[in-house]
Structure formats: C-alpha cells, structure tokens
Amino acid sequence: MITELFPSNKSKQNEAPFVIAGPCSVETPEQLMTTVGQLKKEGISWIRGGVWKPRTRPGSFEGVGEIALPWIQAAKKEFGVKFAIEVASANHVELALKHDMDMLWVGARSTANPFTVQEIAESLKGAKVPVLIKNPINADLSLWQGAFERFQKAGITDLAAVHRGFSNLREQVYRNSPMWQIPIDFKRTFPEIPMICDPSHIAGKRSLVQIIAQKALDLSFDGFLIESHHQPDLAWSDAAQQLTPQALGEMLKNLKTRSIHFEGVQMRNQLEEIRAQIDQADHELLEAIHRRMTLIEKIGEYKKLNNVAVLDLDRWKEIFETRPVWGQEMGINEELIQELFALIHQESVKKQTEILDKVD
C-alpha cells in the first residue's frame, strides 16, 4: 500500500517526508542515467519521469514515448530505484505495466476529463500498482473528488492525491495558484488518502520551490513529487522549475518538519485554551454577520416600500474601498477583506432580491 511509504510516526520531528523526484521528461538514456545516479546519491530511491507529456497546445515537446520504457527499466536495474510515470490512456497503462513501472499518476489534464479517468481506472482493474491523482487544472474540488470515486468504484484503493496548484488568470507570483484551502477541503472528505505536494508545478521557478515545499510541510502534507534534472537549464520541458539533484538534496535538508501531535500536558492545555478563545471569537463573528443580515433585511423592506433598485453601485464601491482600509488598520490582509465582503455583498443582494420578489 502507498501509505506504507510515508513516515509511520508523524509525531517525530525532523522525520524526512516521502519524496519522488526526477526529470519532467525522460529525454535520452544518458540524461536519465546521469540524473537517476545523482538522485540516488542524494538518498532518493523513488524516481519520476515523463514518458508521455500531454501539453496544452500542440508543438511543445510531448515526450519520447514508449522507447523510454526500456531506458527506465535499465535505470531501475542499475541503481536499485523504483519509478513512477504519468499515464493518460488505457494504452499507456498497458505499456507501463508491461515494463514493470512501480507507480503511476494521472495528470491534471486527465483528471479534468471524467471519460479519461474512467478509461484509466477500468484499465487498471486487478493491477497491484499505486496510483497518484493530480488535481484538475482548474479549481474544481468535485472533479478531483470524482476522480478518486471512479477509481474506488473500479476496485482501486491504493491511491494518493497530488496537489499541483490551479490555473488562475490573476496569479502573478506562481505558475499555478496554490489555493491551499482546496487540498485541505479534500483531506476533510478523504482523510485516509495521503496528500502529496508538487511544488515544482506550483512554483514555476526553481527559486520558489522550497517556499512551496515548506508551506506544504507546515500543512501536514505527506510528501513531495518534485522535478529534478542533472542539467535543468538544458531540459526539454519545464526547464525553469527543475532543480539539480544536489540542489534538491540541499533543499530537503533545510526543510523543517512539524509535529502534528502535542507532547506534554502543559502544551496541550495551552493550545486548548487558545482554541477556546478562537471558538469565542468565531461565535462573535457569526453574531456580527447575523446582525448585519438583519439590517440588510430592513434595507430590503425599505427599498421595496419606496420602489428602489437593489443594486446601488456607488454604495458597493464605497464598501469595497473603505473596508480594506479599516482592515489594514487592524493588520488584516487586504485580499481577505475583499473576498469576505464580496461574499457578504453577494448574500446581501440575494436577500434584498428575495424581499422585492416576495408577493405580499
């Protein structure tokens, strides 16, 4: 089972996370052998490598295909490592199993297509190979959950999730927006399924990979799927985000693991006391929202009585401009305030519209 690959006792601090690392794409036998050899020296025994590379647009390098599979077998034999590759069709699955691949993953583009997910799941019936499922390209939690449900209904339960971020037109820092709340929500639905982070695809730049990896550890992720190439600047795909094996080894040494359990009665009591204060603050927050919604209902009744339109853009502009300023004075993140009041305004418009539409 894939769960056996992860640290058995997460209460231990400084315990190394499970790592799968290797090139974005398997390019040549020489590139593969050199990279795997260097990764093995860094203590990496699980290797990843793209054989087929589904791309957003044609014309990009899409992998060397089936000819890479014997190269991988040779690397496994030479260095005593295990190998994971991406599959995007039943034919890929057949070839991967024929060449003794140790782990498979379903990529973000495949996860976005339920027909493809179903095809892969059906082709894996009876196979004894762990499967990683990446989140879909867009921020759709249900689509990600549905992919796991399709595999489970096909009798495949040796599964893990891979968080690789989501496409977002507004994202300016990372290649893909982390949107950490989505994998957290996934874990709430499937607590038994391990969650792995792909910091390479979230970061998009090698200088940001460690930042993302540390954040994942802080959120109790179970491991990493990381891209590494012995000459990353010369890589045929995703050159900017790949680390050399030596840089990867150094990064892993610098990551700080966190204990998810509390040692000692005093620590537990202090934490519970703070949590009780948070519960009280949340209750007061909900009371404030309830009070605001009661006032919104009064506004709605007034507008109905005086035949006034629900949406007042000047008023909304005033709220949207002033609330972040108020929050900033309290040290609250501006983006949080904007998102919070956007939701509150949406609910306010809904309530007022219902009042206007109600027949007396």
Residue stretches of the chain with pLDDT short of 50: 9-12
Chain-centroid distance, C-alpha 323: 31
> Among 166, 255, 251, 256, which residue's Cα sits nearest to residue 206?
251
Write out the E strands in 87-191. Answer: 103-106, 131-134, 159-163
Give the per-residue pLDDT at 265: 61
Give the per-residue pLDDT at 5: 85
Q: Domain 2-254: which CATH class?
A: alpha beta
Structure tokens given for 346: 């949406």
The domain locations on the chain are: 2-254, 266-357
> Tell me, which fold does domain 266-357 have in CATH?
Chorismate Mutase Domain, subunit A (1.20.59)
Angle ∠(44,203,343) on CA atoms, nearest 5: 130
Q: Which helix (H) or strand (E) segment is 46 a member of?
A: strand 46-48
End-to-end CA distance of the chain, in Å? 62
Structure tokens given for 173: 């820092």
DSSP label of 25: B
Q: Which helix (H) or strand (E) segment is 161 a member of?
A: strand 159-163
Can 2-254 and 266-357 be said to share one CATH topology? no
**What does each C-alpha distance from 290 to 253, 295, 302 come to in angstroms?**
49, 9, 19
- In the three-class reduction of DSSP (H, G, I as helix; E, B as strand; rest coil), residue 188 is classed as helix
pLDDT tens figures, 149-190: 999 999 999 999 999 999 988 778 999 999 999 999 999 999
Structure tokens given for 175: 């290649």
DSSP label of 132: E
Backbone φ and ψ for 4, nearest 5 degrees, come out as -70, -15
Place of tokens 């498979």: 104
Rounded to whole angstroms, how far apart are CA atoms 346 and 336?
15
Contact in structure between 50 and 85 (CB atoms under 8 Å): yes
**b or e along 313-346 (b: 16 or more beta carbons within 10 Å of the residue's beta carbon)?**
eeeeeebeeebbeebeeeeeeeeebeebbeebbe
Structure tokens given for 217: 């550890």
Per DSSP, helices labelled H in 255-333 are 265-305, 313-329
Write out the E strands in the chain. Answer: 18-22, 46-48, 82-86, 103-106, 131-134, 159-163, 195-197, 223-227
- pTM of the prediction? 0.79
